[in-house]
Amino acid sequence: MSASPDSPRLQLTAISKRYPGCLANDRIDLTIAPGEIRALLGENGAGKSTLMKIIYGVTQPSSGEIRWQGEPLVMRDPAMARGLGIGMVFQHFSLFETLSVAENIALAMGADAGTPKQLEPKIREVSQRYGMALEPTRLVHSLSIGERQRVEIVRCLMQDIKLLILDEPTSVLTPQEADELFVTLRRLAAEGCSILFISHKLGEVRALCQSATVLRGGRVSGHCVPAECSDLQLARLMVGDAEGLESSYPKVSGGLPRLRVDDLNWHNPDPFGCSLERIRLEVRSGEIVGIAGVAGNGQDELLALLSGETRLPRGERERVSIDAAPVANLHPDARRQLGLAFVPAERLGHGAVPEMSLVDNALLTAFGQGLVKGGLVQRGKVRALADEIIRRFAVKTPGADTAARSLSGGNLQKFILGREILQNPKLLVAAHPTWGVDVGAAAAIHRALIALRDAGAAILVISEDLDELFQISDRIGALCSGRLSPLAETAQVSTVEVGRWMAGEFDQPAAAAAC
C-alpha cells in the first residue's frame, strides 16, 4: 500500500459504536503517528476495548471513518487487519496450553506461514532481537504468565508489523517484568512501529508513552502528554472530579489473631491449576493484611479454601481457624456463623445473583442475621436491610427491587461490601475489592474497609493492584506459585521488594517446589 510519508499511520474520525441500550463509543477521534507510543487511558467501561476491537476489525463501527496510512478503508475482519500489519495482544491470552510455542504461533499465523518446524528459527531470531528470551519448542503450560505474553507479542512481530495494540499488558506482570516489556516496546517504536498501549495505570503510561488519549464514558475527555501531567490531573480526565483520589490512611498494628492459616497444603486436581504449599498466615483484629500476586498464582484456590467452597477433610480441620476454632472442614454458612464475611472476586455470578433483585441479594449472605424465622423469609426485614445498605454505602440504583445485573460494577461492589460489613463481621476476606471499579467508588470502598478495620475487625485483602495494597494494608505479603511470602509491615517494605516476592524470590520455611 502506498502512502505519503507524513500521513499518520492510523486516523480515526468520529467513530461511534452503538450496542443495544448503550453507546460504547461516541464520536471518537484518534491519531497515531509512525513510531509513536500512544496511551489509551480510561476506566473499565470507558469504551477502550470497543475502540480496539473496531481498529482490529473484530466489530464494525456504527459510524465514522478509519484511515490507514492516509487512505480510508473498512476494516472487515482481523485477518484484514493482520494483513495490513496490525497486531494485537489481548488481555486474556488465546494460547493452547498443551501445544508448544512454535505450534501456537503457527496456528495463529495460518497455513501459509509454514510448519512449526520452519517457523522455529524465525521465532528465535525475533525473540532475540527484541530481548524476549523464548524457546520455541517449550510447551505453553510450562511457561510463566510473562513468558506467555511474550508468545503473543512475538506472534505479532513475526510479520511486518506497523501497529501493535496491547490491552492492559502489565496487569499480569510483576513490576520487573513490566519494565522488561517496556524496553522491548521502546525498541519496537524506535524501528518505526506505532504502539497503542491500553491501560489504566498512570505510572506506566507516564514511563512509556509520549502521548495519551483519555476516554470517559465512551467519549474522548482529553489528549495530553503524560509526562507533563500529574496523577491527579490524569485521574480527573479519567473519572471527572472525584473525592478521595489521593488519600493515605494511617497504618496500625493489630491485636489478637482472628484468622490463622497453619501450614496449609492443598493439591489441585486440575493439572494446569495451582496447588498451595505450606501457606502460613495470621490476620489480627484491627488490621488489614494484603496479599499481592499476579493472577493464577493460587489466589482463587486460597480464597476457596478460606470461604469454605473448598473444604479439607476433618483430620486437617485445624489448618484454617477463625478465633481459634478449627474451620477447614466447615461449609461456608458454618464459617459465617463464626463471624466470617466474604467478598469474592467476581461480583456477578458469585457474590451476587445477576437476575435477582438487590433485596434477594441482601438475603443471599445475610440470612443468618435474623431474617429467616421458622423457615420463612421475613420480607420486611430483608427489604429494610437492603434499603439500609443502599443508603449507608451510597449505592446508586433506582430502588431495592432492581436486578443486581443492571448495576454498574462499582455500585454493585459497594452493595456487596455493604452487605458484608453490615453483618458486623469479625473477619472479612475481600478479593480484588476494587477491580474494575471507578476511582470514586474505589475510594469509598477503601474508606469503608478502613472504618471496618478501626472498628476492630480483621481484614484480609487479596488483590493484584499493588498500589491499592500499599495504600490500605498494614501488613503485606505476596503469593507466587501457590507459596506465600512472609508477611511484612507495609511501611517497612518497598514496591520493588514486594515485586520480587511476586516473582517468587523469597524464603519459605518449606522446601521450594513449583506447582
Partner 1 sequence: MLLSLEPRGQQSRPMLWLSPLLAAVLTLLSGVLLFTLLGHDPLQTLHTLLIAPVSDWYGVSELLVKALPILLCALGLAVAYQARIWNIGAEGQLLIGALAGSAMALQLIDWESRWALAWVVLAGTCAGAAWAGLTAWLRTQFNANEILTSIMLNYIALNLLLFFVHGPLKDPAGFNFPESAMFGDASRLPLVSEDGRLHGGLYLALLALVAVWVLLHKSFLGFQIKVLGLDKRAAGFVGFREKRLVWFALLVSGALAGLAGVGEVAGPIGQLVPQVSPGYGYAAITVAFLGRLNPLGIVAASLLMALLYLGGENAQMNLNLPQAITQLFQGMMLFYLLACDVLILYRPRLKWKWAKRNAKNNTEAMA
Question: Residues interacting with partner 1, by CB under 8 A?
Answer: 20-22, 57-58, 60, 76-79, 94, 108, 307-309, 331-336, 342, 344, 346, 349-356, 360, 363-365, 367, 372, 375-377
Contact criterion met (CB below 8 Å) for 280 and 484? yes
| Cα dihedral 75, 79, 81, 83 in deg (nearest 10) | -130
Q: What is the distance of C-alpha 200 from the center of its chain?
A: 11
Query: H or E stretch including 115?
Result: none
CB of 107 to partner 1, least distance (A): 8
Contact criterion met (CB below 8 Å) for 52 and 196? yes
Q: What whole-number distance in Å separates Cα of residue 430 and Cα of residue 433?
A: 6
Residue 307 or 473 having the CB closest to partner 1:
307
Residue 198 or 214 having the CB closest to partner 1:
198
104-112 long-range contacts, Cβ below 8 Å, gap at least 24? 104/140, 104/151, 104/155, 105/136, 105/151, 105/154, 105/155, 105/158, 108/155, 109/155, 109/158, 109/159
HEC string of 56-99?
A: CCCCCCCEEEEEECCEEECCCCHHHHHHHCEEEECCCCCCCCCC
CB of 373 to partner 1, least distance (A): 9
Helices (H) and strands (E) in the chain, counts: 16, 23
How many other C-beta atoms are found inside a 10 Å radius of the C-beta of residue 183? 12
CB of 163 to partner 1, least distance (A): 18
Residue 342 or 470 having the CB closest to partner 1:
342
Q: What is the distance of C-alpha 138 from the center of its chain?
A: 27
Residue 231 or 346 having the CB closest to partner 1:
346
CB of 199 to partner 1, least distance (A): 23
Q: What whole-number distance in Å separates Cα of residue 449 and Cα of residue 460?
A: 10
CB of 263 to partner 1, least distance (A): 25
CB of 83 to partner 1, least distance (A): 12
Backbone angles phi, psi at 339, to 5 degrees: 105, 15
Beta pairing partners, 16: 63
| Sequence letter at residue 353 | V
Residue 292 or 404 having the CB closest to partner 1:
404
Residue 358 or 443 having the CB closest to partner 1:
358
3-state SS assignment for residue 476:
strand
CB of 501 to partner 1, least distance (A): 29
Residue 67 sits at the vertex; the CA angle it makes with 113 and 75, to the nearest 5 degrees, is 50
Report which DSSP code applies to 315: G
CB of 37 to partner 1, least distance (A): 25
Residue 267 or 379 having the CB closest to partner 1:
379
Nearest Cα to 283, choosing from 443, 446, 425, 468?
Answer: 425
Contact criterion met (CB below 8 Å) for 326 and 317? yes
Residue 53 or 453 having the CB closest to partner 1:
53
List, as one string, the DSSP characters of 2-54. ---TTS-SEEEEEEEEEETTEEEEEEEEEEE-TT-EEEEE--TTSSHHHHHHH
Residue 131 or 368 having the CB closest to partner 1:
368
Residue 86 sits at the vertex; the CA angle it makes with 189 and 18, to the nearest 5 degrees, is 120
